[in-house]
Structure 1
Amino acid sequence: MNTSSYKIKLLFWLPLAIMLLFILNISLGSITIPFPDVLAIITGGEGDSVSWKNIILNFRLPKALAALVVGAGLSISGLQMQTLFRNPLAGPFVLGISSGASLGVALLLLAGVSVYGVGLFNFTNWLVAIAASTGSGLVLILVMIVSLRVRDSMTLLIIGLMFGSLTGAVVSILQYFSTGEEVQVYLFWTFGSLGGLNWSEVLILSIILLVGLSLNFILVKPLNALLLSENYAKSLGLNVKQARFLIILSTSLLAGSITAFCGPIAFIGLAVPHLTRLLFNTSDHKVLIPAVAMTGAIIMLVCDMVAQLPGSDMILPINAITSLLGAPVVIWIILRRGSMKNTFAG
């Protein structure tokens, strides 16, 4: 089988895997719902129970869709950062976007505003999302200003890490002076969650994903040129500062919005691009962008199913599951290739 045929067939099997895992994800949960009823409800039927329909349409279906969007968005963000910085350990949060979002949420939850107050209860998700978006947005503005002034991406990476350290220090100080209840609420947010989203929030995330994807397909040639070096990209006539600006904007939109609504979710953005490069044996972003998006969606659906502990009333933190599955993937890829220097080869 030649390489082109392999890629075409793999691009065919990935959507099929997404469909099957999506239906399986909706079928699993603390309440057992027969598979025929699940199919009937998601295809517009009634099913045998009104409560089953309510569970699937108002909880499981939005959660499964959120898994698709989160997996695709974080994976694409990680791919962009690894290409921009030519660093296999770069992820969607290296520029401090997640830390900025965490700071915004910490100011909301640890600075005396109770999300469990009667008047605020119905607006909790939106308050947290607005706080996280504000924090990540402020960090984004700072990073954008810096990106227009620095000459190379490595300097930008170091500055992004410093932004993350600064915001992390402020969060630590807020935690030190907060009550145990406030710290616990903030800690629950840092675990990440796909189950708290309603249809309007999933719609917003989906729209942002489409915008990010559109920017990515525009950036296919710049991303391919940056793979070799910034100097090589300049020799091809690429405006490196403009390309860097658009890459950071796309990553920030995706990673920032996902963190705002779902909390920080680790390792998906770091592990999935490596796994996809291994599966497709290519570094061409024309192939990698859709492949990474679909692979990320698949892995996120699997992680969500594991977190649900089918048959149990307990739900594990999604952040812990992605780390448990993501870390071994990166270790395995390093051992398979023998060196991280070969990560971008293909």
Structure 2
Amino acid sequence: MKKLWLLLLLLLLIVADVFLGSVRLPAAEVWSALLSGESSDFVSKIIWNFRVPKMVTALLAGMALSVCGVQMQTLFRNPLADPYVLGISSGAGLGVAFFVMGTSALGTYTPFPWLSDLGTAAFAWIGALAVMLLIVAASKRLKSNMTLLVLGIMIGSAGSALIGLIQYFSDAPALKSYVLWTMGSLGNVTGNRLLIMSGLCLTGLLISVFNIKDLNVLLMGEQYARSLGIKLSWVRNKIFVATTLLAGSVTAFCGPIGFIGIAVPHISRMIFNNANHRIMIPASALTGSCMMILADIISQLPGSQSVLPVNTVAALMGIPVIIYVIFKNRAVEL
């Protein structure tokens, strides 16, 4: 029943996201553009070339980051684990910086836009994968969750330093392109970009579904998993492939969007009061989509000419949940 209510809320937010925006459009013309295509060219272009792709991007990004967060929190047994905190998004950002500003510094140019889109996604995925491999390797030696968090912060700082170095040697157009990317945006993912992002996200989500059984076993601890004959290294490999596909693709095309991956799994647990991943994976996907689309609606400031960076809105929505989790865990320790 709760999933049904979440689904209805998601449908309501989808409709609101298409109807609301910084440009006011008559509701009747929006309906005409969606159902029959008989509205004016101006309205049709705004709906089909901007608002619908942006809504689909928000839907995919919310699902991807939330499902990614669920798997990482289970793998590391850490309630504050997500791609942003553990440095995976920083790795993806470093990969994008190498591609966007590095190719510009080398004077490399491609006449094919789709090849540029594919390169952005590939370098983001490679950067995210490199960091994830480092975190997984470190988790075998570091038993403390807090130590892993500190390691993630250090990786993020190192990534920021390297990005700053690349920025220093890049030209103005490439630097501007990268800075705009870091602000986070759901409105630039159209055409080939949306197709590539959809393919990567759906592949990562499919792998995540196949990980459900292993994730449930990990809830009982690694010793229990070994007693069942499960090869933990193989389980980790499947999880980090899924999470790097999800985090890397979202970061590549939408910029660094933090806190959704941490907050949504906890919201889902509070709503459904269940740790079973057969429930948590779809529940987090639905909840994450709702939060991401809501963040997109708020960032558009309907009726205003201004637009806020979506990562700022997402952070403001996610931070209260994280503070609640920290104090809740602190109370349990006391």
TM normalised by structure 2 equals 0.86
- Cα deviation for residue 332 of structure 1 reads 3.5
Select which of 151, 164, 174 maps to 2:166.
174
- Cα deviation for residue 242 of structure 1 reads 0.6
Alignment of structure 1 residues 100-249 onto 2, 5 Å = 100-111=91-102, 113=104, 123=113, 127=116, 130-131=119-120, 133-141=122-130, 143-144=132-133, 147=136, 151=140, 154=143, 157=148, 163-177=155-169, 183-249=175-241
The CA distance in 2 between the partners of 1:105 and 1:203, in whole Å, is 18
Match of 2:311 in 1: 319
Structure 1 unaligned regions, length at least 5: 1-8
Select which of 229, 252, 266 maps to 1:274.
266
Select which of 28, 31, 42 maps to 1:36.
28
Secondary structure of residue in 2 paired with 1:113 = helix
The CA distance in 2 between the partners of 1:101 and 1:111, in whole Å, is 14
Identity across the alignment (%): 40
Secondary structure of residue in 2 paired with 1:59 = helix
RMSD of Structure 2 on Structure 1 (CA): 3.0
Are 2:47 and 1:69 equivalent residues in the alignment? no
The CA distance in 1 between the partners of 2:305 and 2:111, in whole Å, is 23
Deviation per CA, 1:80-99: give whole Å up to 9, x if none: 11110011111024554322
The CA distance in 2 between the partners of 1:121 and 1:244, in whole Å, is 39
The CA distance in 2 between the partners of 1:222 and 1:340, in whole Å, is 30
Are 2:292 and 1:293 equivalent residues in the alignment? no
Distance 1:181 1:214, change over 3 A: closer
TM normalised by structure 1 equals 0.84
Residue 74 of structure 1 contacts residue 296 of structure 1 at CA under 8 Å; is this kept in 2? yes
The CA distance in 2 between the partners of 1:31 and 1:121, in whole Å, is 33
The CA distance in 2 between the partners of 1:121 and 1:29, in whole Å, is 33
Deviation per CA, 1:211-255: give whole Å up to 9, x if none: 222212211121112123212221222211110110000000011
The CA distance in 2 between the partners of 1:120 and 1:91, in whole Å, is 34
- The AA in structure 2 aligned to 1:278 is M
